[in-house]
Structures are given as C-alpha cells and as structure tokens.
Amino acid sequence: MSDIPKADELFKSIDYNPPLSGWMETPVDFSPGHWCYPAKPEKIAYMDKELPGLWGEPRQWLPSDADWKLPPNWRETVVNGFRERLKKFRSLQLFMDICVRCGACADKCHYFIGSGDPKNMPVLRAELMRSVYRGEFTLAGKILSKFTGSRVMEEHVLKEWFIYFYQCTQCRRCSLFCPYGIDTAEMTMMARELMHLVGLNTNWIMEPVSNCNITGNHLGIQPHAFKDIVDFMVDDIEEVTGRRVKAPLNEKGHEILFITPSGDVFADPGIYTFMGYLLLFDYLDLDYTMSTYASEGGNFGSFTNNEVMKKLNAKMYAEAERLGCKWILGGECGHMWRVVHQYMDTMNGDTQWSGMTTPKSPITGTVFNTAAATKMLHITEFTADLIKHNKLKLDPSRNDHLRVTFHDSCNPARGMGLLEEPRYVLKHVCNNFFEMPPATIREQTFCCAGGSGLNTDEIMEIRLRGGLPRGNALRYVQEQHGVNLMACICAIDRATLIPLADYWAPGVTIAGTHELVANALVLEEGEVRTMDMRQEPLPGFEDEEDDWTPPTKEEA
Amino acid sequence: MNALYSLLFVFLLVLIPLFGVDAAHMRTFFGVCIPTTAFIIFIIGFIYKVVTWGRSAVPFRIPTTGGQFQSFDPELFKQNKLDCPQTGAQTFFRMVLEVFAFRSLFRNTAVSLHEGKDHPVVAYKSSKWLWLFAITFHYSFFIIALRHLRLFLEPIPFLPVGALEFVDGILQIGAPVMYLSDLGLVAGVVLLLSRRLINPRINYISYVSDFFPLFLILSIALSGIYMRYYAKVDIIAIKELTMGLVTFHYVVPEAITVSFFVHVFLVSVLMAYFPFSKLMHMPGVFLSPTRNLPNDSRAKHHVNPWNDPNIKAHPYAEYEEEFGVPMAEVGLPLDNPENGVPHDETKA
Ligand code: SF4
Ligand code: SF4
C-alpha cells in the first residue's frame, strides 16, 4: 500500500470536471492497480466442469497485456449473449431504452465521488453497455451512430467493460435516485455474465465461487478445519464468559439450520460476531445446527451469473432437507441477503423439502410470515423479537466504552428494506448510539466500496477512493460524538471497512452487531465479565487482580 | 457541438414546410399526408416498443427499496408503505407518485467537496432544480396536449379540456388569453436545455439525441405561440382541418396560413421520432421492475419462466466422499460411515 497517496492528497486529486475528450475517445488506464487479477485457469476449468459453457477457455492472461487471448468468436458470443439476455430480463431491455441521461444518478456513486472519473457516473457506466446496444440492436443507432452515441462491439469496448464493470459494487444507490429506477447494478450483473462467457473474470470472485462449490465456503475451509476453528471459538467464549457453549455441526434432527457467511468463521472481527451467535444460541438453548457443507451464506455466484448464483444458493435447501431442519436462520451478511430476499425462492423454492415451515421463534412463539416463502429469517429479526419479548437479560453498560454508529449495508438496505431491526438491537445492547448524516445511511447508505467481489488489495486505491463517502461520514460522527466503533450486518463490510476506516477515520473499529449483543448478554444472575468478546479488558469492569499498577518510585 | 448539430437540424426542419407549402403549394401533403403518416408511425412504433418490453421476462422481483420493509412486528418497525411496498395497492401508490410527482427525482441531492478545518468534508445537499424543471416542463406539455383535444372533439367536453383551459388561462394577460402552460413549457425547455449546456458533467453525457428533442419541442412551442398570439391564425379553419383528419374527410381550408404548417410539421417530426428515442421513457416508467413490483419475494412464491431445474447444488454425497476421512477424525457425523474409513492405498 506504499504507493497509495495520503488521504489529504487523494482528496485533493478529485476533480469533478470531465476531461476535454469525449468519453468514447478517452482512453482507459490498464495499468496495474486498476483491475483485479484474472482467475487462475484451474478455477475456471473446475467451474466449467460444473456448469459448462459459461466461462470461455481457461487461460493465463493479464489486463495490462495487449492481447487478452479472447476466443476467436468472442464477438458473436458477447453479442448473442447480449441479445439473449434482453429477452430474459425486462430490466435490461427497458434500462437500455429509457435512460434520458438526466444525470440525477451521476453523483450518487461512491466511486465517482471518490475518483471524479466520469465513467464512474452510473449513467456513463451504463452507457458503456447502452452504446453497444444501440449500435448492435437498434435501427436509429445503426444509421445515426454518432448522433445517438452508438458503437458496435469491439475489443477496446469489451476491455473498457472489464475495467468499469469491475468498478461497480452493485450497491444500487444510483437506482434509488433515478426517476425511472434504472438500476446500474442490474446492468453490471449482465455485463459480467457476458464477460464470463469469453473468459474475462477475476480471481477474487472465481476462487471463492469454486471453493463454495467444493468445500461449502468461499475460503475453501475443509470440514475438519472448520470444526477446529469453531472449537477454538468455543474455547475463547469460555475464556471470556466461563461458559462452555454448544456448537453443533452437521447434526441431524434439529429444528433450525443456521447459516452465516464464512467470513465470520475465518477473520477478525467476524469471528467475534460468530462467537456472539454461538453464545446467544446457547443462552437460549436453541435447537439448531450449523453445517460445514452449507457453511457459506455469502453468494459469490451473484457476482458472476445467474446459474452459479442458483447453484450455490441451492445448498441451503439441500442441507436443510438432509439434516431435517424446519427453517433456516441466516447470519449477518449483505449479498447473501439480497439473494435470499429477492432471488432464493424464485430460483430454488421448489427444492424445499416438505418438512419446512414458516419460521417461528421457539422462544417467543412469534411467527415470521414475512419469510413464509423462503423459510429463512434474518438474525436481527430474530434477536429484535427476543429483545421485544424481554427474553434477553442485557447489560448495555458493558459496551459503555464504545460509542457506536451503524453502517447500513447496501443489500439489506436497498435490496430488502431491513433498516430498523439492527438499530433496535444495537440500541438495546449499547448506551451510546449515534447516526451518521442522513444522506449517508438507511436507503441512502454508501457502499463499503469492496462489495461484489472487489474486496481485494490489488485495487486498494480504487477501494479507498470509493470509500470516501462512507469514511467521511464516519469521520464526522467520530468528531461530533467521539464514535469509536462502527457496527454493521455484513461480513464483507467487516473486512472492507477496516482499511477504509484506518484511512479515512483512523481510530474507529468495526464490529458485527451480534458481537455487541454478546458483550451485553448477561448469561446468569450476577455474572461478572472482565473482558469483551475480543478478550480485551472491559473498562469499568476490570478484574481487581488484573488491575496491576506499577509501584511508584517512593514505594519502591 | 452536439447542441449545435441539433439546433441546425431543427432549423432545417422549420425550413421544409416554409418552402414546401408556399413555394411548392403542397398544402395537402403538409396538412394531411405528413401528420397522418407521423401519427401512424407513432402509434405503431410505440406499441411495437412496449410489446417488445412486455415480451422480455421479469424473472425476479428486484424492487429498489427506499425505506423500512414490512416487518414481523408492524408496530415496532413501521413499514414505509410507499417506498417499500409489499402489496399491489401500495405498489400502485408508489407508481402514482413516481409518475405524477416524480418522487424519486424529488429526492435528488448534490454532492460537493470542501476543505474542512483539518480534514476534507464531503457534503450533500438537497437539489430540487432538476425536479422543478422537469415537472414544469412535463405538466405544461401535458396540459397543452390536453387542450389541443378541443381541435379534435365536437362538442368540446368541459372535463378536462374546458376546465383546463379555464384554470390555465386564469392569469389573463391581454387577448387572446395567455396560457400559463405555454409559459411553463418554454421555461421548462429552456431551463432543461441550459442545464445540459452549462453543467459540464451533464454536458459530457449529452448526445445529439438529447438536445434534439429539446430544441424540437422548443420550436413547436414557439411556433404555436407565434400562431396564437401573433399570426392570430384562423382557429375555425384549423378545426375544420383537424376534424377532417379524425373523421377521414380531409379538407385543407384556404384560410390556413403557413405558420400552422410549420407547427404541424414539427409536431409530426416529434411523433415520428418518439418511438425510436429516449422519449419512450414516458411509457417505460410504468414498466420499471425496480419500481413497479411489491417487495414480497421472501413471503410469496414467484415464477421465473426460464428457471433451469437442472442446476442443482453440488451433492452432499460427493462432498462426504471427498472429505469423509478428516471429517470422521474430528468426529463430524457422516451419512455413510464408509466414507470415514481411510482409503487403503495398498488395495488400489
Ligand atoms: S438518473 Fe436514470 S435516467 Fe437519469 S441519467 Fe441516471 S440512469 Fe439515466
Ligand atoms: S450500483 Fe453502486 S457502484 Fe454501481 S454504479 Fe450504481 S452507485 Fe455506483
């Protein structure tokens, strides 16, 4: 990260005035740092075996090379694939036709705000595709190409697609502001499907995809290793709380299957959130199991194409059936929830086994009719219901050293409408809660700039630029209210927001919501805790014996 | 540059009937043939496009949610019924507001960067100009279009035409009655045009096809105003012609002067151009899947017509075969205990 400019310098380099050359004439920067590494050929070969015909020829190539080793018939493949998708998705067909280029979306994208690159204006990002649509498929575009901003598919166009459709996190913020609801994220998804057809992809997406398929989770953690990690966490929980919690894995005959993104199993600070889930479930004596086979909630397929999205998602129902679970509880995750909420039942609803029922909290008896079709409940809905029914004994003062704000992840916010439940939970487990400015939260929330498969270090500067709006809002509450922790409900956020905060608002840490729940949860009458879930001393609750102060000079 | 091209185009378009009518005496051609053809192109093109849209599938429900969804506890977590509708009725109201009040545009903000005291500041402020320009323009256009119905209907119905005329003409300046909508239309177009010309970012994304309709509509408005307030054309004669058009008894009365032909020609160009252009956002807004669907796909089953049933999860059985041995070692339960037995390599 040494060649990344300091925050101030980067900020000064942002210029919202477009260049003098028209956008079609402005060349694209293919130097390293502007793209993610392409997938390793063996990952593509594996996925091609699983879902043939969607990936092009596996090969070694780099975007900085002049020759991308495209297959000889790449042009027909892309154009025909485009035509096919216009039929399959009304959204695509419509969004190709009705944009009036009013520019309302232009300054809504975090990548534009942080870079000033006009091709990061959602309208222009979509024009990269629309121009080809007009040039290839419309009469007006064919005869009046110059006047209507049309062009045909050419190699440099496809290369431009690769750069800019992998500079969109599919956060849909632009869609909220468009008078016709034009969703650039939807077009990004289509463009990526098309690029996959001719072998343009990134390793940070394809490796997780193939891992998810083989091992069940994106990190490729094998089942025994998964169990080891969970066991470690059980030890750590005991260290903090004195309680040895159950952590059932692959067990049959439980009511609930719990699925969370595997990022929570693997990395800081997600593991503390995971410990939070375990502690909560044990406290409730919940009849549940987790699964190593369905050990990934995050759906990396949604960053590639519909087929993979469906295939990876199908594991959840398959595993519920094998284990005989009645409904599924889902952990804190962004893309997972967009897929669960908007796609899952449509794609895989008919593979549900007959024993599944509408989620019903065994603790409170609440029936969650909002999840009647998918049979899948978000953990903050579950916990909010517990809190409302007074089923949790909470001591929010244990989080008094934290001054907390909440980052709405794009997918639950704009793809679901899950806004209040996590806030409700947070406000009950900590005493100091502060909102970031209204234009940066709830449905207007800003992306972490690392979603949809961009969470990789190769493009750190792009991510930090895209992180400006979120980081700046965070900096604001840091100064105004002394905020020192940003909670979120997304595993990708828990990874991407850390460098973002370090850069734009140093001193703020990131945590999942259920980590704070675990901190506050009073397991039994008179329970004393001296550490938080991170095994750091809890200010105000220190163990007296631990409270060792060095002797003063006189005493010595 | 793109703006200049468009202006030039429109200018040429004005010249066509100017010379065509007077020099070539092609009154029937400009009074009957052109408008009728344009109208047919408009109708067929419009329907064709909408049918094309209708024929593409809506595989998934992908509404952009702009507020709290319907929760398990509607009291504790109040649903934002308009921005996150869950029923048909709620969605209908979302669409009504979208179509009639440009609600999403109303939300618009503008971003700006500032040097703060010791660190940068990104600020967002509400920016309603585009909304205001757009709504002025569209409503004026709409009212004027409705007012024109008086030329095609006999007798003229009071609702909405007569009533509109009355309200519209309430600000009476001189005679004939000055219509607010005429002012609104010109103002709207000029403002939208200037925005496109002055704002460098918007200018950057504007093609000829963005300026052209604006100039065209402006010239239509100006020619209409000229006809009405300055040339004082013979309305009776015009109505004779327009009624002839709708009843297929074509007449082109002599009293009609050239300014009318210019106006009609420009309107005809607009009609014929409409289905092939971005102006199709007008019907398109009704069909947008991010707005016109209820957010209910977790609660209700929907069907994707091309859902591929052959795509299945990686089978658990294969997974267990692959990882059975280490799974057994750490005590994870197995469906098939044989998978947990280490593969005897001597046997192979
Ligand atoms: S806001 Fe919508 S219509 Fe306006 S430029 Fe953006 S995508 Fe196009
Ligand atoms: S979806 Fe998000 S990242 Fe993509 S163009 Fe829109 S605002 Fe930018």
Cα–Cα separations (whole angstroms), residue A220 to A28, A425, A494: 34, 32, 19
**Ligand 2, closest atom to CA A112?**
8
Q: Are the CB atoms for B82 and B67 separated by under 8 Å?
A: yes
> What's the gap in Å between the CA of A107 and the closest CA on chain B?
6
**DSSP-assigned beta bridge partners for residue A407:** A488
Per residue, what are the HEC states of A359-378?
Answer: CECCCCCCECHHHCCCCEEE
Of residues B122, B288, B303, nearest to A181 (C-beta): B288
Q: Transcribe A136-165 into DSSP letters.
A: HH-HHHHHSHHHHT-----HHHHHHHHHHH
Q: Are the CB atoms for B25 and B31 separated by under 8 Å?
A: no
Within an 8 Å CB–CB cutoff, is residue B71 touching chain A?
Answer: yes
Q: Give the ligand at the shortest distance from the Cα of A192.
A: 2
Measuring from atom 5 of ligand 2, which residue has the nearest CA? Answer: A122
Instruction: Give me the pLDDT at residue B348, please.
Output: 44
- Tell me if A169 CB under 6 Å of ligand 2: yes
Cα–Cα separations (whole angstroms), residue A478 to A468, A485, B104: 15, 9, 31
What count of Cα atoms within 13 Å lies in the side-chain half-sphere of residue A373?
20
Contact A8 B119 (CB under 8 A): yes
Spatial neighbors of B52 by CB under 8 A, at least 6 apart, are A93
- Of the candidates A291, A272, A292, which has an alpha carbon nearest to the alpha carbon of residue A280? A272
Q: Are the CB atoms for A81 and A56 separated by under 8 Å?
A: no
User: How far does chain B reach from its first CA to its final CA, in angstroms?
Assistant: 77
Residues of A in contact with B50 (CB under 8 A): none
Residues of A in contact with B64 (CB under 8 A): 172, 175-176, 181, 183, 414-415
Query: Mean pLDDT for each consecutive 10-residue tract of chain B (348 residues)?
Result: 90 88 77 94 97 96 95 94 95 96 95 88 95 96 92 83 79 68 94 96 95 96 91 89 90 88 95 96 96 95 95 94 93 94 63
Tokens representing A13 are: 């380099």
- Of the candidates A168, A186, A170, A158, which has an alpha carbon nearest to the alpha carbon of residue A79? A158
Residues of B in contact with A88 (CB under 8 A): 56-57, 59, 306
Q: Are the CB atoms for A497 and A485 separated by under 8 Å?
A: no
Instruction: Give me the pLDDT at residue B232, please.
Output: 84
For chain A, list residues with pLDDT below 50.
1, 556
Q: Which residue of A has its CA nearest to B102?
A: A179
The residues in B 143-172 lying below 8 A from A, measured between CB atoms, are none
Q: Are the CB atoms for A177 and B110 separated by under 8 Å?
A: no
Instruction: Give me the pLDDT at residue B172, please.
Output: 61
Tokens representing B91 are: 């969605």
Q: Give the ligand at the shortest distance from the Cα of B202.
A: 1
Phi, psi of B110, rounded to the nearest 5 degrees: -120, 140
The residues in B 188-207 lying below 8 A from A, measured between CB atoms, are 199-207
What ipTM did this prediction achieve? 0.92
Q: Give, in degrees to the nearest 5, the angle at Cα A383 between A378 and A387.
A: 150
Instruction: Give me the pLDDT at residue A2, please.
Output: 53
Region for A179 from its dihedrals, namely left if φ exceeds 0, alpha if ψ lies in -120 to 50, beta otherwise: alpha
Region for A182 from its dihedrals, namely left if φ exceeds 0, alpha if ψ lies in -120 to 50, beta otherwise: beta
Whole-model pTM: value is 0.93
Residues of A in contact with B290 (CB under 8 A): 91, 175, 181-183, 186
**DSSP-assigned beta bridge partners for residue B123:** B112
- Tell me if A187 CB under 6 Å of ligand 1: no
Q: For B119-123, which contacts have Cβ atoms below 8 Å and span 24 or more sequence positions?
A: B119/A7, B119/A8, B119/A475, B120/A7, B120/A8, B120/A11, B120/A472, B121/A472, B121/A476, B122/A113, B122/A468, B122/A469, B122/A472, B122/A473
Measuring from atom 4 of ligand 2, which residue has the nearest CA? Answer: A168
User: What is the rounded distance in angstroms from the CA atom of residue A308 to the CA atom of residue B43?
Assistant: 42
Phi, psi of A425, rounded to the nearest 5 degrees: -60, -50
